[in-house]
Amino acid sequence: MEHLAHAAACYYRSFAVVAAGQGLTLIQGKMLSLLGRPLPMRALAELLGCDASNVTGIVDRLEARGLVRREAAPADRRVKTVVLTPEGEEAVRRIRADIVAGLPGLEQLDDHDRRTLQDLLDRAFPHTTG
């Protein structure tokens, strides 16, 4: 049990360090990595588990750095879709690369172990239950 706590702490610390290496916050890095495809603000709020008004500020700051762009959705003119700019995509790529580089313990697991770990995590934290 505290093993889980330790693992989660290590993962997030690594993520925070990597994000900080690019002048980003943990939550900003998290948001960028969610933007594999354009998403409306509302969807981001639910994925991040926070208030919509919070997303406004985070996107503001990311937009100010040119990592993200707000686009008006044609179907529903209320929604604003958030899209990664090329610089944003580059940032995501660097974050992913740095993350795996920053978790050397993962590299030492062979394929069988990784599949086992993946399976156990899936069962312990099913995707249906937040």
Partner DNA sequence: CTCGATGGTTGAGGTCATCAAGCAATAAAT
Partner DNA sequence: ATTTATTGCTTGATGACCTCAACCATCGAG
Spell out, one character per residue from 55 to 74, where the chain touches a copy of itself: x when CB under 8 A holds, - when not: --------------------
**Nearest distance, CB of residue 101 and DNA, angstroms:** 21
Which does residue 51 touch among DNA, a copy of itself, none (CB within 5 to 8 A, set by kind)? Answer: DNA
Quickly tell me which residue has 């995590």 as its tokens: 121
Binding residue (CB under 8 A) for a copy of itself from 53, 78, 105, 111 = 105
Residues 6 or more apart in contact with residue 55 via CB below 8 angstroms: 31, 41, 44, 45, 48
Q: Is the dihedral of CA 84, 55, 45, 102 positive or negative?
A: positive
- Tell me the CB-side half-sphere exposure of residue 76, using CA atoms within 13 A: 7
Contact positions toward DNA, by CB under 7 A? 25, 27-28, 40-42, 45, 48-61, 70, 76-81
